[in-house]
Amino acid sequence: MTKSLVSWHAAAAGLGAAVIFSLPSALAAQAPTPQELIHDSVSGSYLAARHAGLERDSATAAAYYRNVLKADPRNADLLGRAFLSVLADGDVEEAGKLADRLVQIDHTDRVARLVIGVRALKQKQYSAAKQNFSQSVRGPVTDLAAALLSAWALAGGGDTRGALDTLDRLAGPDWYGIFKDLHGGMILDIANNKKDAGKRLEHAYRVDPAAVRTVEAYGRFLSRNAGKDDALKIYQAFDKAVPDHPLVVQEMKEVTASERLPPLVETPQGGAAEALYGIGASIGRRGGEDLALIYLQLALYLEPGHPMALLSLADLYEALKKPDLAIKVYDRISPSSPLKRNADIQVASDLDTLDRTDEAKKRLEPLIAEHPKDTEAILALGNILRARKQFAECADVYAKAIANLARPEKANWVMFYFRGICYERSKQWPKAEADLKQALALFPDQPLVLNYLGYSWIDQGTKLDEGMNMIRRAVEQRPDDGYIVDSLGWAYFRIGNYDEAVKNLERAVELKPDDPTINDHLGDAYWHVGRVLEAHFQWSHAKDLNPEPEDLPKIEQKLKEGLPDDTSSAADAAKAKKAGSGG
């Protein structure tokens, strides 16, 4: 299972959009209360709102913008900023009220029309919903959204034919097709037109059999209309390509027990939520975070418990480095959902990101105790311990995950790699070497493993040729990985080839200019080729980049006295060069 469940849902490719507005902040940043805003000046509130926007704190931005609006309620720019901040924060009801005011000033505001239309659809005012959706059209993504939402509004009003015509008339990129077929099939299924529903759902499935929601929609349809065996074929094919997706595993169990599963969506509101989720999740993975956030918040407004929308929103917050908000969203997933366990694992990772490591461990320990054979939680705990440099403990945890393997496969290389790191860092080299070799046996030429094992050998002064060859192969695969290029440079340093060390370490610093270790390494290499002033500059820079506590005294000592083996003179540098080159 990958880190994020969102990656399981593959939909359209090539989507992208941008809407400029402030995104939510971590929960620790509290928005001001009305009482706190009483004495703030208009200019002060405006500056505070803009600052909050730069900090991606939409709750605070919205509070200050609303305060400014009291003084200038007809200002379209202020109203628009407040509206988008409130919407980003997930208060769709309040955003709807601001949208009402916004369209009175600018009746063409497309995002406001979208929100008003979604609100109308939720209230089963289908005609008003469709009218507003038709005014929210602007580009490829919004065109698709407007068509899908209009279709569901028409379906809600009983006009199935009109809904299908709306979808069929939509022209655009090829990736529109899967959305059109999926939603057309679901609309027909609700309308009890099983024959045509089956055709559309099957076509959507054939186009993209790796899209989990398409698999669910078609599998559920088959369970009711074709029988258990046909449905299981669909689920089993997906499970083979993407193993152990919780939703698919659960539905396979139910179908195996001869259950007839209900449609994926059963109401126009649920269908619209599915459309907003599908588009939002897709563009969120392709750089359109701002618009994705709007769609996901609107999807959850229509269907607050939508599990995949919740996961997508949490994943988006993690990508935006807002782990507090991600935790809050994960905790909204129902305890009865098949996705709850995976959400709890993600919460633990986010807690650790917030330096709440003890809470993270407490979140994982009952999950491991409950399902000791499920490696997902075990690996999450191991990763936390490894990141916190509790190497002896993390080796033991990874050992539990490895013990669950009936037969190690290629995908399991990372378990041995991580345990090997933990063994090496806890000074258990024979065990580390065995694990790193096993990782390479499972995944030959894996660059991270080549780099780690090769450098370890060189650092120990053993298997120099083999180790150097491994690192070179790693660099060939990842020439722009600053850490691997640093390993090659440092390996040259360790064998005394200082010119090659400088060449590669300079490249590594270009790739990772803010890494203290790489800058420190380059300083050492400069010293050995007689570039003393540059060596001091690199060490000083490394010191300013917050190096590890155990490295700081060493850097400070070098700044005072240079390297212990002082070869700063030109003659000594030439001697070192000659020795390093084997001459």
- Decide: helix, strand or coil at residue 9: strand
- Which carries the bigger pLDDT value, residue 140 or residue 327? 327
Say what the pLDDT of residue 36 is. 60
Q: Is the pLDDT of residue 422 over 80?
A: yes
* Residue whose C-alpha is closest to residue 184's, from 206, 216, 215, 161: 161
Token look-up 């259950």 returns 259
Say what the pLDDT of residue 70 is. 82
pTM of the model: 0.83
Say what the pLDDT of residue 40 is. 62
What separation in angstroms does the CA of 323 have from each of 2, 8, 291, 294, 378? 18, 21, 20, 19, 21
- pLDDT tens-digit series, residues 119-134: 999 999 999 999 999 8
- Angstrom distance (rounded) from CA 553 to CA 543: 9
Say what the pLDDT of residue 17 is. 29
Rounded mean pLDDT of 393-412?
95
Say what the pLDDT of residue 30 is. 64
Query: Which of 38-47, 73-82, 140-149, 467-476 holds the top average pLDDT?
Result: 467-476
Q: What is the mean pLDDT of the chain?
A: 87
- Which carries the bigger pLDDT value, residue 391 or residue 4? 391
- pLDDT tens-digit series, residues 194-207: 999 999 999 999 99
Share above pLDDT 90 across residues of the chain, in percent, rounded to a whole number: 72
- Angstrom distance (rounded) from CA 100 to CA 172: 30
Q: 458-583 — its CATH code?
A: 1.25.40.10
Query: Hey, what are 415's tokens?
Result: 């378990």
Each domain of the chain, given as residue ranges in start order, spans 355-444, 458-583
- pLDDT tens-digit series, residues 46-85: 888 777 777 767 778 888 888 888 888 888 888 888 898 8
- Which carries the bigger pLDDT value, residue 345 or residue 566? 345
Share above pLDDT 70 across residues of the chain, in percent, rounded to a whole number: 89
> In 336-390, where does DSSP find H-type helix?
340-353, 357-370, 375-387
- Contacts of residue 30, Cβ cutoff 8 Å, sequence gap at least 6: 60
Rounded mean pLDDT of 233-244?
93
- Angstrom distance (rounded) from CA 412 to CA 1: 11
Q: Fill in the DSSP letter of residue 90.
A: T
- Which carries the bigger pLDDT value, residue 512 or residue 321? 512
Q: Is the pLDDT of residue 564 over 90?
A: no
- Angstrom distance (rounded) from CA 58 to CA 455: 46
- pLDDT tens-digit series, residues 153-174: 999 999 999 999 999 999 888 8
Q: Do domains 355-444 and 458-583 have the same CATH topology?
A: yes
pLDDT band at 18 (very low <50, low <70, confident <90, very high): very low
Token look-up 């926007």 returns 53
- Decide: helix, strand or coil at residue 281: helix
pLDDT band at 23 (very low <50, low <70, confident <90, very high): very low
Say what the pLDDT of residue 222 is. 97
> In 55-91, where does DSSP find H-type helix?
58-69, 76-88
- pLDDT tens-digit series, residues 176-193: 999 999 999 999 999 999
Say what the pLDDT of residue 39 is. 53
- pLDDT tens-digit series, residues 501-511: 999 999 999 99
- pLDDT tens-digit series, residues 281-336: 988 877 788 889 999 999 999 999 999 999 999 999 998 888 999 999 999 999 99
Say what the pLDDT of residue 572 is. 36
Say what the pLDDT of residue 574 is. 35
Query: Hey, what are 348's tokens?
Result: 């633990």
Say what the pLDDT of residue 351 is. 97
Q: Is 1.25.40.10 the CATH classification of the domain at 355-444?
A: yes
Say what the pLDDT of residue 32 is. 67
- pLDDT tens-digit series, residues 449-463: 999 999 999 989 899
- Angstrom distance (rounded) from CA 85 to CA 106: 18
The alpha carbon of residue 7 and the mean position of all alpha carbons in its chain are separated, in whole angstroms, by 8
